[in-house]
Structures are given as C-alpha cells and as structure tokens.
Structure 1
Amino acid sequence: MLKNWLRTTTAAATLFAAPYMALAQDAPAQGGDIVVTYKDDITTLDPAIGYDWVNWSMIKSLYSRLMDYKPGTAELEPSLAESFDVSADGLTYTFKLRPGVKFSNGREVVAADVKYSIERAVNPKTQGPGAGFFGAIQGFDALTGGTSDVLSGIETPDASTVIFKLSRPDATFLHVLAINFASVVPKEAVEAADGDFGKKPVGSGTFVLKDWTIGQKLVFERNKDYYVKDVPHIDSFSVEVGQEPLVALLRLQKGEVDIAGDGIPPAKFLEVKNSPEGAEMIVDGEQLHTGYITLNTKVKPFDNVKVRQAINMAVNKERITRILNGRATAANQPLPPLMPGYDKAFTGYAYDVEKAKALLAEAGYPDGFETVLFSTNTDPQPRIAQAVQQDLAAIGVKAEVRALAQGNVIAAGGTEGEAPMIWSGGMAWIADFPDPSNFYGPILGCGGAVQGGWNWSWYCNEALDKRAVEADSISDPAKVTERQAAWSKIFTDVMADAPWVPVINERRVVAKSTRMGGEDNIYIDPTRVINYDAIFVKQ
C-alpha cells in the first residue's frame, strides 16, 4: 500500500521533472561561505506565516517537516519521519519520527511538537495563509470556527508516533506535510518570542539563524547537529538586503556576490548571456509559475464580472513577454503548461480592445473609471505595471501604479478592500508542490480570501470549493486522469468569473558566480526556489 501511495503522489512530479534536470558539474565539496542579495528585506521567518518566494527557501532550511523532497525534484521522501504508513482507505496516516533529532535550542523533537505546529498553522489567531492546506484533518472546521483549540484528527500516542485521521481522502496530503506550513517548531520558543518568532526562529533544519540586522543582512550558519550526514555543504550563507538588482549583478561579476537573488535585470540579460562567463553564470529553467493581475471582487467596479472580463481582454500579454526578453509565454488560465490538468484547448480571453470597451459600456462604464494597480518596486515589475497601465488607458481605465516593497504589497493584498488590482510579478505563484490543487486553495479558494491570505481577488465560489474538495478526494491511483480532468474544468470555470488576468508563465533565471557548483535544478528548485541545503562552492 505504501509504495502505491507514493507512486500516486509523485505521478505529477514525473511529468515535469525533466526540465529541471541538468548534467552534474562537480562533486559536492564541504565548506565555504556565500553571499546572496535581494532588494527587499525579509518580512518573517515564521513558517506558519511566511509565504513569499524570497523567504520560502530560507524557511525551508531553518525547519524540518515529516516529509520533504529529493533535492532539485518534486519527488517525496520521509524526512523528520523515519517511516510512515497509510491505511487502505486513505483516511489514516501513521508516522514514526527519527530518534535523536534536536531543535537548535538543544531539545529533542517529539510527536507533540508536530501536533502543536500544525494546530498553530491552522489556528485563525495565527493569521497565517496556509490553514486551508490542512482542511482534510478531522477537527479542522472546529478549530477554524473557534469552537476548539486543537485538531482532533492528530493523535500522539507516544513521543515518536504521530497519527493523522482525515475526514476525507486527500490525494495531496503527503505533499501538504512537506510544505513550510507543516514545519515543526517548539512551543516554548514560540511563546518566549512573544509574537516575534519570525525574527527569533528555532527549528531543526539544515541551518540556524545567527544574526539579523534589519534592513541590512541575515546570516545563516550550518546546523552541525542536522540529522542527515554531510548536509548542508556550505558552512554559511549571508543574505544582504537593500541591493538594487543592477548593483547586485555588477558585484556578482566582480566576485563579491555568489547569487543575485532578484535575477538579471532584462536590460542586462543579453549582455550577461553573451559574456565569456555567461554560460557559467546563468541558470535558466522552466518553473511551475503563473504571473497574474488580481481583480478585487469586493471592490467596485470589479464586483461586476463584465468589468473583470473587459480587463482580461485589454491586457497585451505578448508585449509583456517582450519586456522580459522572451523569458515567458502568454498565459490564459491559472495553471501553468507543465502542471497536470492544464487545458491545452482552452483559449481564454483574446486581446481585443474594442470588445473590452463594449463590455465596459454594458457594465455601465462607457467612459471607464479610475483605479489603483499595486506592484512591487523591483525591476522589471514597475515597467510591466506601466505597460498594463497603458493597456487599460486604451479602454478608458485610468490606473494609478503604486510600486511598493514586496512586503507592503502582500499586506495590501491580504487586507480586504485595500488593493483593487495587484500585478503579482516578483510574488507570482510558483507551485508549493506539483499538483493543480495548489493553484486553487490558497489563491482562488474561499479559504484564502481571509485577512493575511493570498487570495488577493477575494474571490469565493462555494460551488467550485465543493468541487475542489471532491477532486482532491479522488485518491485512487487508477483515477489520476479523472482527478486531473476535474481540476482542469474547475480552472476554466474560474476564468468564466474572471477574478484574475493570467498574464505570463515565466521562466526563472538565476545569476550565480562561477565558483558556485551543483546542478542547475538546485538553483531553480521546484519546491524550494533556491535549495540552500544542496548548493556548494567549488574547491
């Protein structure tokens, strides 16, 4: 039963693993300290709250989870768990913990820590965006509804055993236990931090946070007590923030920086690519990504579906791909092309200015309207937002572009009624795990339309939510195709309501120094963004 279950949950991973794979370069060496740069500061390192593509990799390395992925792939394997078993009906999961694993405060990790950590992630008081992932666990509704402080479906009969009882089968559950929200934390450290655990993290992962100077630098050191031998390879990595991408790239070329986290500014891409060291410096690969514009369905006039459909028709997506030097393709649905369930036959909303104007007139806005389009302030995102601004002006919509730091945009999106439109570039959705459900619940489902959530369109279609639960309850390995078809129809039906403008499916481009070793897929890791556990310095 266990082998069949693993084969089912990794079926999707095998469909897109190949694009991430590259020829091995050098054998991993132990030692070395590297420098990584980002423009924006890190908002939090709390695994129950952090949910942007910059802090995601760091959180992954600070904490452990019952399950994890083989480096550079989306293939599941036990991690903090030594072994596990799944009942024949798919409703009971039993995990045995590895013995002797310790938090960075010296205390051993026990089963009660797993229960506490997941209950904390689900508890509405935490105001974390990941609660909905755990919706299949018995007691979820009681905890989220405020009638209980615990999840009745998590049992800890002894210090090394965790049992999950589900209210329905969930084909994604092993993946859920590998995402950051399932990271295990010690209750005493959370309470001692007094609301500031995101700045004082304690975990059992590959690295520990040694220093954080707000607005300047974070220093992570190798956890010498990590439970996997010879992992990680580097001794430390420092994250310098406040670095403009162009400056970071110049420093990388001079050997002062090892990874330019914000990538290569489009204006410099061809220059770097054609340089003598370009082939060694650039890592360019596919990712499960969709960049989109959210249309806040709680804010007029975006509460009108015809207005949302008109906006979809007004955006010239091909022009945006040109801004990115062709490192993207135009999107027409929430799912990216590599994701199982992607509907190749679906065409979405064609670029049609005249039809967009007609729809606005039908909606009662023949002369357009004024609105605000939020964007991050790191190049090229403001330029893309300005391109959208020009497209909207062509149909009479006057959009003020408000370019802010990433954390401020995320906060605005998670506050009902604050952000009419958001261009998600720089924060756009990259799959947490290789399953179509991940492109629905957190960003389009009712569970994500909450304070602090990532459903920035505040779209809630209860009928589609019900169908989503039914799709995820199809856990029979023989019905994988049926499940994918169910998800495919959910996403095309979402587009009838047009809460988003799907804009691009972007390739990820990372700039790294020539001294950095390892396969390309650990710099564009499908579940980690950058895999700090696997990267190494050539010796």
Structure 2
Amino acid sequence: MKNALMAGVAGLALAAGGALAQVDEDAPQGGEMVVTYQDDVATLDPAIGYDWQNWSMIKSLFDGLMGYEPGTTTLRNELAASHEISDDGTVHTFVLKDGIMFHNGREITAEDVKYSLERVTDPTTRSPGAGFFGMIAGFDTWNAGEGDGLSGIEVLDDKTVRITLSRPDATFTHVMALNFASIVPREAVEASGEDFGREPVGSGAFRMTEWTPGQQLVFERFEDYHRAGVPKLDRVTFDIGLDPTVALLRLQNGAADVPGDGIPPAQFLQVVNDAAYEDQIVEGGQLQTGYITMNTQMAPFDNVDVRKAVNMAVNKDRIVQMINNRAVPANQPLPPTMPGYAEDYEGYDYDPDAARQMLAKAGFPDGFTTELYVMNVDPNPRIAQAIQQDLSEIGVTAEIRSLAQANVIAAGGEQDQAPMIWSGGMAWIADFPDPSNFYGPILGCAGATPGGWNWAWYCNEDLDQRAADADAMVGDPAAREEAWRQIYLDIMEDAPWVPVFNEQRFTLHSTNVAGDDSLFVDPVHIPVNYDYIHAAEAE
C-alpha cells in the first residue's frame, strides 16, 4: 500500500480530526504536475495493483461504487447515485448514476459492476485483494474455483445491482471504496489480456495516454468525468528512474513538483529545518505499521520459538533513531490510533540474551542462516543492515536481498521464496480505518495465497472464524473492538511478525502546485490526491 517516508503498502491514513479538505471548487482547470519515482510502476490493473506507488495512480484512473470525500476517510457515493441497505445489513442495493462513462466512450452499466467484482474474486486473476470480498454470498465457492461467479451479485436492470452478503459485515461499504472494487470494461480487459495493467481503461478523473517503461507515464484529464470541474489539472506526468536525492534537486530547480518517494532520509533534517520550505512541507498522521515477516511455512520459521527469539533480537529504538525519530516503536500489528489497539500489551522486549536462550530451546544453539528481503530505496537497505546486525548477535546469519519493490512483493507472494521480509517501502497502512484491515490481507488465511500480501504465510483457521464473527457484530461496536483486540494479542503469541514501528508521513511539494495540505497526504489517494490539486497560479 503507500507512504512518503518508507513508501508503504496500499493503505489509508486518517485526516487530522477527520475534517473535510478545503477543496477550492472555484480553482480553474489547467496546468500540470510532475511527480518523480525511483522504480517503475508494476501495474495499473486495479485488481492486481497493491503498493504505495500505484495506489494513488489507480485511484485517479478508476472509480468504484463508493469513494471518499477528498482528504478524509468520510465515505460518499462515487459511481452510485444511491445505496440502500436492508434492515439486517445483508442486502445492499446500488443504483448507478446516469451517463457515467468509461475512458473508451462506453456508458457503464450494472453488468460492468458484476463483471468487475467477479473478476477480482476469480482465483485465476490472482488478486491480492480477493479476500476483502469474502462476505459476498458465493465467495467461498467461487474462490475455490467452483461455480460460475458470485451468486450474491444480481443485476436487476441496466442501472441497478443488488449485492447479498452471506453475513452482516461492518466493513462492506469501505470494501466497495477500495481500488479492488473499481469498475472495469470487460471488452478492454479481454482485448488487452495480461497487458491490461499496462493499457488501463477506467472511468476515473484521469486517463493514461503514455507509458514508456522505466522512463515516464502521462495522465491527462478525462473530459467526460462524472464530477464537474474535476480534475483540476490538465496533466500529471510521472518521471521514473530518479534517485530520491536527484528528485529533490529537480524539485529545487523547478523541474518537478512532488518527490513521490518522499524527502530523502539523508536530507530530511536539512529540508525540514530550512525556513524556505516551511510552506511546502506537509505532515500527516497515518495508520501504519512497519514489520518484519517470517515465513511460517519455511524452516526454521515454522517453529514458534524461533519467531519469538527473532522478536526479542531486534532493537527497534535504534531503527527509529535511524529515521530521525519519525516513528514510535511498535509491539503489535495495530498502530496506536487504531480501534482495538491494546494499550496495556508490552510485547517482546529487546533482550538478545533471552533470544539466544529461546533459539537454543528451539534446537538452534548455534543459530542458522537465512535471507532477508528488502526494498532497495533508502533508508530500507540501511534498516535491513541494522536488522542483520541484531540477528548476528544471536547467531543468526541473514543474507540481505535488496531488490526493487515489485521483486520483493513477488517474492513474498510465493510460498517458499522469501524467509524474511522487511516491509519498509511497502509497510502496511490501513486501506480503511478499521482493525479488520490489518488482518485479512496480511495475516488471514485469504492473504496466504500466491500473489497475496500475507508474506508470513500465516493461517490460523480459528482466528479466521473469530475475525468473521467480529465483523458480523454490526450493532455492538465496543464488543467488536474488544474481539479484534484479543485476536491481535493471540497473533502475537504465534509471532509471525516482528512489529518494528508506527510512522508519521512527511511530503514536499513545489510552489507550482497548490491545494489543501490533506490532498498531499490524502488518506485514500496515498501518497497524493491528484484529482483535486491545482496549479498555484489558480489561487
């Protein structure tokens, strides 16, 4: 998902106080913005893309039935004109807006909704987001490769679709606002085949007009977008292959507007302490956890005592210092501001001596050799080296595999390839502000699948059932929060992760572009809401 400091996984942060962004509705359209990235984009297919870099791009190319008010986590109808929910919470009826168009000029119908949701949940698609839709009737059969689609989705007429859930689910409306629920045209998907991620056709505020791999992507304003006056900019250009330090120099020289990889760690203090940038630096809170995964299906991490030993071996305070204290040490999957966070839980203390004893108890008195995968954007390789040094203190030799983000993600999605992964550059930010989101994709059985994001390959069927039961508590928020709290405490007993830190996000923009601060650290369009930012001269 997607943050400016560590770059993070597809996710969602909370706007300060939940206030609406001050969108300048009167700002005239026009102008362009240049965004820089070091690595190329893996895909723009909304069923597949799930990292911080492509998340905001996909948001601008595609829409779903639901969306969010800009700069907030406040839900709104997007392609839906109306949304009705049955008294028992299991039947959702959506009526589409009139005249909403795909980029190819065709009007969207209810059949497109059914096709898109069945495509993302079809096992052959290998979508990392398929598990989000597990509450829709027929999902289990369809996900097992049986039947013919999702039985819970019915097209009533060209504008109306009815979605029946197998159980009440407090997260369903948020799920309908995820990128994975984006509506796509069947004919474009079938025409492009596996290349749809390079030839995206959606209904979003921008359409892609150019993609030169490794060099540049160009988005241009979609003239027939269903929201009048959106987007503000005529064009967004993404320059690829730029080291973050070079990207900062480009911004300083007026050749770039947003360094997509964030303020380079080596220059962070220099930039934030420079009064010249006071009005260009934006800070935003986020529901984020950076963690180390241990593949529970690969020896020796199939031994819980080994995993606990690694938890005790990592010096989290030192890692936080390495990133200029832009985070706090973590001791559980949930970040402190998320409902369900266990404030009284102490976690595993940093204790190398106890870690060595635990390894000996597990049958590894002399340690072992393993591999630690890491994204190759600073400061992640340096953090991996710190983890490597910590592990060496307890006799564990970790060989570092520093790779491009897409390669690390691919390795994590294979059951027997990556023994350990430092998630920095892909660290989890909640897709929506609910404790369940830190479970299904990254700790639940549904995420432990080829191409998935459960890189620990951790699957506890009892916890899966308890998670489903918790999400069915639609009328008792306090009981639901307590249920999730206990689920995460029980996960820490199995120790599939080393939670390392919860970070704050900082970004920087040039004086050529403007907009409410929340748009540059948008909680949904991580890292930037391209749709509502406008040219500075328009102010």
Instruction: Name the TM-score class by shorter chain.
Output: over 0.9
Classify 1:236/1:183 alpha carbon distance in 2 versus 1 (closer, same or farther; 3 Å).
same
Classify 1:522/1:325 alpha carbon distance in 2 versus 1 (closer, same or farther; 3 Å).
same
The residue type paired with residue 119 of structure 1 is E
8 Å contact 1:297–1:499 — kept in the other structure? Answer: yes
The residue type paired with residue 524 of structure 2 is T
Give the distance between the partners of 1:139 and 1:38, measured in 2 at CA.
40
Partner of residue 218, structure 1: 217
8 Å contact 1:22–1:520 — kept in the other structure? Answer: no
The residue type paired with residue 525 of structure 1 is D
Q: Deviations over 1:224-258 (max 9, x none)?
A: 10000111111110111111000001111111110
Partner of residue 472, structure 1: 471
5 Å-filtered alignment, 1:338-353, equals 338-353=337-352
The residue type paired with residue 467 of structure 2 is A
Q: CA deviation at 1:514?
A: 2.0
1:388 equivalent to 2:387? Answer: yes
8 Å contact 1:28–1:517 — kept in the other structure? Answer: no
Give the distance between the partners of 1:270 and 1:489, measured in 2 at CA.
39
8 Å contact 1:16–1:339 — kept in the other structure? Answer: no
5 Å-filtered alignment, 1:456-535, equals 456-476=455-475, 479-529=476-526, 530-535=528-533
8 Å contact 1:20–1:524 — kept in the other structure? Answer: no
Partner of residue 203, structure 2: 204
Partner of residue 260, structure 1: 259
Aligned residues: 524
Give the distance between the partners of 2:67 and 2:21, measured in 1 at CA.
23
Give the distance between the partners of 1:439 and 1:282, measured in 2 at CA.
29
Per the normalisation by structure 2, the TM-score is: 0.95
8 Å contact 2:111–2:158 — kept in the other structure? Answer: yes
5 Å-filtered alignment, 1:133-152, equals 133-152=132-151
What secondary structure sits across from 1:147 in the alignment?
Answer: coil
Does 148-157 or 509-518 show the bigger shift?
509-518
Give the distance between the partners of 1:491 and 1:28, measured in 2 at CA.
45
8 Å contact 2:18–2:73 — kept in the other structure? Answer: no
Partner of residue 287, structure 1: 286
Give the distance between the partners of 1:243 and 1:355, measured in 2 at CA.
44
Identity %: 59
Q: CA deviation at 1:23?
A: 8.6
Give the distance between the partners of 1:22 and 1:178, measured in 2 at CA.
17
Q: Deviations over 1:143-174 (max 9, x none)?
A: 11111131010000100001001110010000
What secondary structure sits across from 1:444 in the alignment?
Answer: coil
8 Å contact 1:65–1:183 — kept in the other structure? Answer: yes
The residue type paired with residue 101 of structure 1 is I
Give the distance between the partners of 1:348 and 1:274, measured in 2 at CA.
35
Q: Deviations over 1:425-478 (max 9, x none)?
A: 0101011111111100000000000000000000000000000000001111xx
1:30 equivalent to 2:29? Answer: yes
Q: CA deviation at 1:500?
A: 0.3
Give the distance between the partners of 1:534 and 1:320, measured in 2 at CA.
36
Classify 1:106/1:137 alpha carbon distance in 2 versus 1 (closer, same or farther; 3 Å).
same
Partner of residue 123, structure 1: 122
What secondary structure sits across from 2:154 in the alignment?
Answer: strand
What secondary structure sits across from 2:196 in the alignment?
Answer: coil
Classify 1:146/1:61 alpha carbon distance in 2 versus 1 (closer, same or farther; 3 Å).
same
Classify 1:83/1:338 alpha carbon distance in 2 versus 1 (closer, same or farther; 3 Å).
same
Give the distance between the partners of 1:231 and 1:460, measured in 2 at CA.
43
Partner of residue 444, structure 1: 443
8 Å contact 1:39–1:262 — kept in the other structure? Answer: yes
Give the distance between the partners of 1:248 and 1:281, measured in 2 at CA.
15
Classify 1:389/1:519 alpha carbon distance in 2 versus 1 (closer, same or farther; 3 Å).
same
Q: CA deviation at 1:337?
A: 1.1
Q: Deviations over 1:355-402 (max 9, x none)?
A: 111100000111111000000000110000001001001111110111
Q: Deviations over 1:301-322 (max 9, x none)?
A: 0000000000001101111111
8 Å contact 1:306–1:360 — kept in the other structure? Answer: yes
8 Å contact 1:209–1:218 — kept in the other structure? Answer: yes
The residue type paired with residue 493 of structure 1 is D
The residue type paired with residue 305 of structure 1 is V
Partner of residue 312, structure 1: 311
8 Å contact 2:20–2:72 — kept in the other structure? Answer: no
Q: CA deviation at 1:536?
A: 1.5
Q: Deviations over 1:476-511 (max 9, x none)?
A: 1xx111111111110111000000000010111112
Q: Deviations over 1:52-98 (max 9, x none)?
A: 01000000110110000000100001110001100000010001100
Which structure 1 segments of 5+ residues have no match?
A: 1-12
The residue type paired with residue 391 of structure 1 is D
Give the distance between the partners of 1:115 and 1:514, measured in 2 at CA.
43
Q: Deviations over 1:2-57 (max 9, x none)?
A: xxxxxxxxxxx9x9542576995977442111100111100000000000010000
Q: CA deviation at 1:516?
A: 2.1
Give the distance between the partners of 2:160 and 2:179, measured in 1 at CA.
21
Partner of residue 538, structure 1: 536
Q: Deviations over 1:76-123 (max 9, x none)?
A: 011100011000000100011001001010100000000000000000
What secondary structure sits across from 1:190 in the alignment?
Answer: helix
5 Å-filtered alignment, 1:98-109, equals 98-109=97-108
Does 382-391 or 262-271 show the bigger shift?
262-271
The residue type paired with residue 509 of structure 1 is F
Partner of residue 4, structure 2: none
Partner of residue 66, structure 1: 65
Give the distance between the partners of 2:98 and 2:122, measured in 1 at CA.
28
Partner of residue 7, structure 1: none
Give the distance between the partners of 1:354 and 1:534, measured in 2 at CA.
53
Partner of residue 95, structure 1: 94
Give the distance between the partners of 1:278 and 1:346, measured in 2 at CA.
39
What secondary structure sits across from 1:390 in the alignment?
Answer: helix
Per the normalisation by structure 1, the TM-score is: 0.95
Give the distance between the partners of 2:351 and 2:58, measured in 1 at CA.
43
What secondary structure sits across from 2:57 in the alignment?
Answer: helix
The residue type paired with residue 533 of structure 2 is I
Partner of residue 3, structure 2: none
1:250 equivalent to 2:249? Answer: yes
Classify 1:37/1:21 alpha carbon distance in 2 versus 1 (closer, same or farther; 3 Å).
farther
What secondary structure sits across from 2:162 in the alignment?
Answer: strand
Give the distance between the partners of 1:199 and 1:377, measured in 2 at CA.
23
5 Å-filtered alignment, 1:176-187, equals 176-187=175-186
What secondary structure sits across from 1:372 in the alignment?
Answer: strand
Q: Following TM superposition, where does structure 1 have runs of at least 4 consecutive aligned residues deviating by more than 3 angstroms?
A: 19-29
RMSD over aligned Cα, in angstroms? 1.4
Does 305-314 or 272-281 show the bigger shift?
272-281
What secondary structure sits across from 2:279 in the alignment?
Answer: helix
Q: CA deviation at 1:142?
A: 1.3
Partner of residue 425, structure 1: 424
Q: Deviations over 1:262-293 (max 9, x none)?
A: 01122101111122322122112211110000
